Every structure is written in structure tokens, then in C-alpha cells.
Structure 1
Amino acid sequence: MSAPRWLRTAGLVLAAFAGGAVTSQAVHARNQSSSPYDPFDQLSWVLVLVENHYVDPAQRNKIVEGAIKGMVAELDPHSAYMTPQEYTLFQSDTEGKFGGIGVEVDFRDERVIVLAPMEGSPAARGGVKAGDEIVAIEGKLVRGERLEKIIGLMRGPAGSRVRITLRRQGVSEAIQLDLAREEIHVASVVGKRLDSDIAYVKLRQFQAGTHEELLRVTAKLRAESSRPLRGVLLDMRNNPGGLVDEAEAVADEMLDTGVIYTTRHRGKVIDEAKASGGGALANLPIVTLVNEYSASSSELVAGALQDNRRASVIGSSTFGKGSVQTIFDLPGGAGMRLTTMRYYTPSGRSIQAQGIQPDVRVEASRPLQPGEVVRESDLDGHLPAEAGGGTANTNVARGPIVRATADDTGPARDVPTDPTKGSDFVLATGYKMLIERLGAAPR
């Protein structure tokens, strides 16, 4: 597919830079008249000044790359220019593989807690244990940082090394580890058959193949017993989103009819995704679990199930990323992630900077401190919400509010067959709600 015309034009501008230095006199002369190219003249002017007057010789490619990065980053928090190395890492991530140390983490009270090292991973071989707190990465303290930034610090090319500092209960001194990153493969869907024939399905992210993984996992759960499944506990907590087409396919499996989402570009409807019917889970009651780290495509799925009255949503207000990014290939192996659309729930509610409000809101067992939870609306330069023609989304709970117990540990790594006997309060609440809907006591 040919590059968009504007992209070819940008390539011509960069080619002009690469062709040789523009004299300051020539740039000054062009600046005397107004034209559509004035901004490029200004950029050329600055480039010449830097090359001629900076204290040390400047590398033109590095300067131009920085200018492009700044231009795209100025738009919103999710648009970005990616160098060839960054683009390669990004593509690997969407395929469910990346260079890392193989550790699953959670955010608790601004602390990064290890849920578990992946079996056979560098983290497991290096001695990382469940319950460890990651205090620093490459000497940088991480408490209070955004979770995605922390994960980004741990990732890198396979074969590169990363230093992490851990704090472990019962050990007085900090533990320092120097680990070599390896290619990590992550399953985006995990499942377990719970008591009362409930299917617990955890969607970690939406990557290439997530839809097929969902079908394999649910088929396996069905095959574990001669009794049919009676309901689905869908866990999308800490799901940062991912590929929209995979999220659409997942939602389609849970709907018989109805709209899944719509997208708009500059106020005009671009696409309206609809359920095709006959989904593998379309006839089962569903309860969906979300939290403040459920973002983007996971919010799309939660909104589709909520608006179509297919699922009750339990947890906390979601992150609020209601924008779609298009990926563009650039010359030289670089790439660009550009926000091109906003998406809306079936009823026309905007998710952007507002999130999905749960039907049952679960509040933390203690009051949260300002800045402890960061959502889209807290990010500098975030896109505003835009009316989609439906009911306005507000930050008010749609139903009852319950407070978690003091011993709540957040998302459980190991889910018990009877979640009411575990310490994951939201999971237990969702399980009990599903059981009540089925009109049966746990068995």
C-alpha cells in the first residue's frame, strides 16, 4: 500500500535537509514572504543555526529525529515517532513477544509488586520471588511512576542487561540483580474452571491471536467436565488494551446482536462495528471485572458488553483512553503511532478522558492519596472528550458502591476454584454476583 500523500511530502522535506545545508541568507529571504512552507523555513533556519553555532559539532540526523519526535509528541500522549529499534520492539509487543526479564507485576499503594516470575524466565532463574517489591530499575527509583513506564524500563532488546533493585519481606538489605533480557512470549488469555461451572477468563492484553486464544481456552474449559458452562467471569483488570480488531472479535464472541463500537474522525462516523451473531459465549451470563489500569481496547469490550446489557461491570472507573492510533511505516525502518480517531460505546458514550463507569464500584479499603492513581484525564495534553450523540459519560457510579476489605490483595495470581475463599475482593464480588444471577449457591 502506498504511503499517504502527506507522508510522501514529509519525506521530501527530510530529503531536502539531507541534500545539504541551507544558507542562512536563503532562509532569511524566504522568511520575508508568507507561504504554506513558512513553518518548514523556520525549521530549516533553526537547523542551520544549530549546525553553524552550537558549541560542539551537531549530528544532523539526530537533530532532525529529535524535531520529528517533538512534533508528533506535541499532539497527545499516545502519538509517537518510533526509531527503527523502538518500532521493532513495538511490533514484537503486539505479537505477544518482547525482550524482557519475564515478570508479572501489579501496582499497589504506588509500589510495584511482583505477582510471579514466569517459569524459566531470567527473573525466575535470577531469584525473583512473588511478593518482591521492585524499588529501582537501573538505579532509578520507580515508586509513584506510571506502571507502563516501569514496564518499559524493564523491557529492551534480547541479550541486553538490566539492573533491578528488590525489597523482600524479612530481608533487611535491598537485593541487587543484574539480569540478561530474553525474548519473552506471553499468553494473552488464561482460563480456569471455577466451582458452579463458572469459566474464569483473564484477558491480559489484545495482541495478534488473542481471539483464537480465547476460543482455545474456552473450548478447553468446556472439555474439562461433562456439565456445561453456566457463566463467564471476564477479568480485564490491568489490561492496557492493544489491537482493536482483536478486541472487536472477542466482543463479537459474547454478543448475538448489536453494535460493538463506532469510530469518528473529526466528528464524522468512520466505522460502526456490529456483532455477527452466533458467538461462542453469546448465550452465557457474564460479569466483567475492570480497574483503573483497564484501558483502550479493554474499555471498548467492557462498554460493548455494558451497553448491550450482556454483562455487569464491577470494579473501579477505567483509565479513559478512548482514542485509536494508526501505525504508519516510515522510511528507514522507523514508524509512527498517530491518533486518528475517537471511539464510542454502542449508546454513543465517549470513553476518552472519562472511562467506563462500573455498574458496581469497588472502592479501595483506604482513601486514595492525590496522584496515587493516574488516568487519561491526568495526562498532560490529553485529548478532550467529544460528544458522540449518546448519553454523556460521567464519573458517577451507575449502581451501588462497596468498599474492599482491609485484606484485599488486588488481582490474584492464583485464582481459587471458589473465589470467595481468596483475598481478591473484586474477584469474589463478581463471582458472588454471577452465582446470584444464576440463582444457585456455590458448589
Structure 2
Amino acid sequence: MPNRQDRVYGAIQGFITTLNDPFTAFVVPEQADIHRQFMSGKFGGIGASVSIDANGEPYITRLLRGNPAEKAGLEPLDVIRGVDGQSVQGLTLDEVVDLIKGDVGTEVVLTIYRPSQDTTFDQPIMRAVIEELTAYSGMIGDIGYLRLSSFNAVSASQTERELQTLLDQDPRAIVFDLRGNGGGLLDEAVKIADMFLDEGLVLTERSRSGDEERYVSDSGDLGERVPVVILIDGNSASASEVVAGALQDRDRAVLIGQKSYGKGSVQLVHDLPGGEQLRVTIAAWYTPDDRRIHGTGLEPDMVVEGDQFDAQGNDLYLNAAIDYINATYPRDPHIFGG
């Protein structure tokens, strides 16, 4: 028989389902803690990116400069065989990462196999505050590529840093990839949209009582002049749609891909004494052209039919964006010798 707490939680969740709003929710403490950490953009860890190799073993793909893993002497391609004496064989990537994370200032011992030396050793590492990497960038020829995976408390600062890195290389245009980005903090979305917009409206928030709040951008930000193409798909939602919708309505970006998710409601989060959270839908947001996105999504200016990748692994969305940029913003032959 469920204990008293489980019965109480069940009763609350049962009541909430009667509201017929999938975004109003009661969240138990364990899940609420994960959400809080995710939104903070910071966690206790070692500062290493990890993936799974062809043999199913976790290995280090990248070290964050100046963080504990690098200071401890770990190297890319090091294979993680154990965490605190526990074998990680057969564990999923998320399970391995959860074992490595922990409270700041505590020690974790990794059992490392280093293929370059064919050696296995235990390496103690002190966990520190690690900033979640949500934004990264690169150049594709003379076109900038900016990817944002979520909107948490560090996303705007990371986006600004990566955008400045791209602009320092004088790109013809920037592809801003919001595919699979399910959203996050509204304030971060407004800050990021403002990087590309001059003075004007970003979105309007309307409550059920009819009250309105307008979020605006100002002039003088670093990305206001560079041409922008935004990639979206069916998993681009919420804060992603705020940014994409604002730039589309303000004629600052062309959207390429498939229709976005259509999550345009606003939730007020109540932190409860027991660590639980109650998230209640209080409003809906509208684009600068007063389009309601909730339940409808954003229609791209250029639709890419079918899968995102072909049989050879080519990114069809990205290729479509590059083709559009080449047709619309051709290279200067005096610079590129065309």
C-alpha cells in the first residue's frame, strides 16, 4: 500500500489532471531538484565532456580548460572504467554522468584506461562548480554557425561570448541552430533576441485576466547587423519560439526547417516547503506581430521536407541554410577571389 506521502502526491497530481493543462504540474522533490540545477546552468562536476564509444564504454571527448579534470591530468580519449570503485560497464551515458557529478568540494575517483599508454589507473578528482555548456560555435567557410541547446541562467552570457567570437571572424551570415531546444527561462530568451534586434518589441505576455506585459529590445547590441538564418524543428519550443518568432516578425531572420512545437504558455513556479514545485500556467505570449504560438507553432519561411539527415549523414537543414545564404548574400569576389 502506498505510504501517506505518496497518497498525498497522488491526490494532488490527480486534481491537477482535471485542469486539462499539460503544462500545469506538481513536481516531486527529486525531479524539482534536477530542474533547479538545470535552470541554474551550474553543477558540481569535473569539467569534462563524455560520450560512449563503439564498444559501449564511456570516454572523455573534451576537457574544459582550467577545470578539475584537466588539472588532474586527464586526456581526451581516456576511457572511464569505473567511478568510486563501481564498474560502469553496461551503464547508459546519463547514468555515468550522474555518478561523476556530485556536491562541490567532494572527491570522486575515476578508474581510467588510457589507450595511448595501455595503462589503467585510479585518478582522484575534487569536484568544482561547472558551468553547463549550452552555446557553442564554429565557422563553416565564411559562414558562422551558432548552436544553442537550452535557455538556462548562463545561456545569454555564453551566447554573447560565442557570437562575439564569430563576429570577430567577419562572417557573411550566421546560422543560429535552435533545433531540439525545448526552451527554458524567458528572461534569457529576451536577452538573446535583443542581441540581434534594435529597439522594438520582442513579445507580449497576456494573462488570463487580460493584463499585458511587453518585453522589448534596445539598440546597440553586437549582432544587429549580421544576416541571420534560424534552424527550427518540431522540438524547438517555448523560449526557442520566443527568439525565432521575434526575429522572424522583425525581419531579422529567415526560419528554415519544420514547424516548431507550439508551446507559448507561461508557467509561474512555486517552490514548496518540502522541496516540491507547483507550476501553474498563468499567461500566453504573442510575437511582435501579435501571433499566438501556443498550439500552432511557428511556420518556417523555407520548409525542409523529410528527415534532417540523409543516408550519408549530411545535415539537410544546415545545407539548406548554407544554400540560402550563398544565394542571398554572395561572397565578395574582391575578398574571396570568386
* TM-score, scaled relative to structure 2: 0.72
1:202 aligned to 128, 147, 155, which one?
A: 147
- After superposition, the C-alpha distances for 1:174-211 in whole angstroms (9 at most, x for unaligned) are xxxxxxxx998531110112322x22111111111211
Aligned residues: 279
In 2, Cα distance between equivalents of 1:408 and 1:255? 37
Which position in structure 2 is the counterpart of 1:70? Answer: 14
Residue 317 (structure 2) pairs with residue 407 (structure 1): no
Q: Which SS does the other structure have where 2:280 is aligned? A: strand
1:436 is aligned to 327
| Contiguous gaps of at least 5 residues in structure 2 | 53-58, 64-68, 70-76, 82-89, 102-126
Residue identity opposite 2:180 in structure 1: N
Structure 1 residue 435: deviation in Å? 2.5
Find the aligned partners of 1:342 and 1:155 in 2 and give their Cα distance.
38
CA drift at 1:77: 1.7
Match of 1:215 among 160, 169, 182: 160
Tell me which of 19, 29, 39 is aligned to 1:84: 29
User: For residues 290 and 238 of structure 2, what CA distance do their matches in structure 1 show?
Assistant: 16
- Equivalent position of 1:188 in the other structure: 134
Distance 1:302 1:290 in 2: 8
**TM-score (normalizing by structure 1):** 0.56
Deviation at 1:364, TM superposition (A): 0.5
Q: What is the deviation of 1:118?
A: 5.2
Q: Identify, as 1 or 2, the structure richer in helix.
A: 1
SS in 2 for 1:364: coil
CA–CA distance in structure 2, aligned partners of residues 247 and 190 of structure 1: 16
Shift of 1:102: 6.3
The residue that corresponds to 2:109 in the other structure is none
Q: What residue in structure 2 maps to residue 425 of structure 1?
A: 316
Task: Quickly say closer, same or farther: Cα 1:320–1:193, change in 2 above 3 A.
Answer: same
Q: Does residue 284 in structure 1 map to residue 226 in structure 2?
A: yes
Stretches of structure 1 that go unaligned for 5 or more consecutive residues are: 1-55, 106-115, 128-135, 139-150, 161-181, 366-403, 410-422
Q: Which has the higher strand share?
A: 2
Tell me, yes or no, if the aligned pair for 1:408 and 1:424 is still in contact at 8 Å: no
Look up the match of 1:353: 295
Worse overlay, 96-105 or 427-436: 96-105
Distance 1:159 1:194 in 2: 34
> What residue is the counterpart of 1:384 in the other structure?
none
The CA distance in 2 between the partners of 1:435 and 1:301, in whole Å, is 24
Would you say the 8 A contact 2:309–2:315 is kept in 1?
no
> 1:237-276 counterparts in 2 under 5 A?
237-266=179-208, 268-276=210-218
Structure 1 residue 99: deviation in Å? 9.1
2:263 matches 1:314:
no
Deviations 1:228-284 (A, max 9, x none): 333211110111111110000000111013211111111614211111111210111
Letter in 2 for 1:191: S
Cα deviations by residue, 1:10-61 (Å, 9 ceiling, x for unpaired): xxxxxxxxxxxxxxxxxxxxxxxxxxxxxxxxxxxxxxxxxxxxxx5x5322
Instruction: Give, as a single letter, the amino acid of the residue that structure 2 aligns with 1:332.
Output: G
SS of aligned partner of 1:199? strand
What residue number does 2:283 align with? 341
What SS does the corresponding residue of 2:31 show, helix, strand or coil?
Answer: helix
Cα pair distance change 1:159/1:428, threshold 3 Å: closer
The CA deviation string for residues 136-168 of structure 1, in whole angstroms up to 9 with x for no partner, is 999xxxxxxxxxxxx9x86996469xxxxxxxx
The one-letter amino acid paired with 1:62 is D
Q: Which amino acid aligns with 1:215?
A: E
Point out the structure with max Rg over C-alpha. Answer: 1
Is 1:331 the counterpart of 2:276? The answer is no
TM-superposition CA deviations, 1:384-436 (whole Å, max 9, x none): xxxxxxxxxxxxxxxxxxxx784363xxxxxxxxxxxxx11110110121232
Q: Distance in 2 between matches of 1:117 and 1:320?
A: 36
Which secondary structure does the structure 2 equivalent of 1:343 belong to?
Answer: strand
* Percentage of identical aligned residues: 32
Residues 292/304 of structure 1: CA separation in 2 closer, same or farther (3 Å cut): same
User: CA separation of 1:207/1:200 partners in 2, compared to 1, >3 Å: closer, same or farther?
Assistant: same
Change over 3 Å in CA distance of 1:102–1:440 after alignment to 2:
closer
SS in 2 for 1:351: coil
Q: 1:429/1:69 Cα in 2 relative to 1: closer, same or farther (>3 Å)?
A: same
Q: Trace 1:116-155 onto structure 2 (pairs within 5 A).
A: 119=62, 125=79
8 Å CA contact retained: 2:149, 2:178:
yes
**Paired amino acid for 2:39:** T
Q: Which residue of 1 aligns with 2:86?
A: none
